[in-house]
Amino acid sequence: MPSKSPLVIGHRGAPGYRPEHSRSSYELALAMGVDAVEPDVVATKDGVLVVRHENEISGTTNVAEHPEFADRKTTKRIDGQAQTGWFTEDFTWAELSTLRVRERLPEVRAVSASFDDSQGILRLRDLLDIVRAGSAEHAREIGVVLEVKHATYFASIDLDLVPLIERELHESGWANGDRPLIIESFEPTVLGELRARGIAASYIYLIEASGRPYDRVVAEGKQALTYKATVSPAGLDGLVGQVDGISVSKKMLLAHGNTIIKDAHARGLQVFTWTCRPENMFLSAEFRSAGAREAHGDYEAEWGVIAGQGIDGVFVDHPDLGVAFFRS
């Protein structure tokens, strides 16, 4: 990964300006100077890795307007939560490729929504090719932060993501350390499995502000270590040698008296945070402006609190703002 600190990572590309995970979202992020971009990966029925924030796609595609797919709408339990909609694992790649992507929050990001229905879904392979081409075009090393989504769920329906990811990374030239790669997940089991396969990457454990990782809940029930306990000194001790770092909800870093970054650094672990966004609806209350929820608040003050703690990487939805602030 580029040696700049903190790394500025285009979260799903540049979704402040273009529909998330679209080609134009990623290409804009690369042009705006990010150090890396972050695709989320899920699988199709025929084992193709596609770039979507979730396997449920009604909020980010036009699937509901395809009458030929009306009977695919269903309710499932994903990571213990009931969800209703259309799911990638019920479609072949050929079918998904007929869909077009849309802005998830059109009422907040109207500019992005103006690009609705103009682009198709990307495969992981497409994204890796975009980053490779962008690195050449912009004459700088650009990395990929690959988030593995719902690994335990997919394994339970005989779509194990581990061999699919391993094959894709090898075939595309991203598995051997020649290109900067980080692999992250909210489920630590899949990180260990991919690491055991010899994929050359940094491995980052994603941490929610509350709850427990689903893979550990399946294995251990209520005995599973909470995310909050994981970032305690004792919890961090248990991560040494297992992962290279953690990526925590920014809520945890903005909490009064937290010492997460200091404690992690003392153990040789990196710390990233998600997600730095400028709009009022995403800012902590003390940093919001008097405007509507889509208006920008005093995001620089919030981001300054995070930067001042010595953060190693930040995920941003507006790469131009992120690069300007964290590089200043």
> Could you please report the per-residue DSSP string of 53-98?
SSSB-TTTBSGGG-GGGGGG-EEEEETTEEEEE-BGGGS-HHHHTT
Q: What is the pLDDT of residues 180-208, one digit of tens each?
A: 999 999 999 999 999 999 999 999 999 99
| Structure token pair of residue 70 | 């009306």
Task: Tell me, rounded to whole angstroms, the distance of Cα 102 from its chain centroid.
Answer: 18
* pTM, 2 dp: 0.97
Reported as a pLDDT band with limits 50, 70 and 90, residue 5 is confident
Cα gap 72→157, rounded to integer Å: 17
**What is the percent of the chain where pLDDT is above 90?**
97
Whole-number average pLDDT of the chain: 97
Q: Which fold has domain 7-326?
A: TIM Barrel (3.20.20)
Q: Is the pLDDT of residue 2 over 80?
A: no
pLDDT of residue 4: 73
Q: What is the pLDDT of residues 31-77, one digit of tens each?
A: 999 999 999 999 999 999 999 999 999 999 999 999 999 999 999 99
**Reported confidence tier of residue 238, pLDDT bands at 50, 70, 90:** very high
CA 291 – CA 277 distance, rounded (Å): 15
Q: Is the pLDDT of residue 3 over 80?
A: no
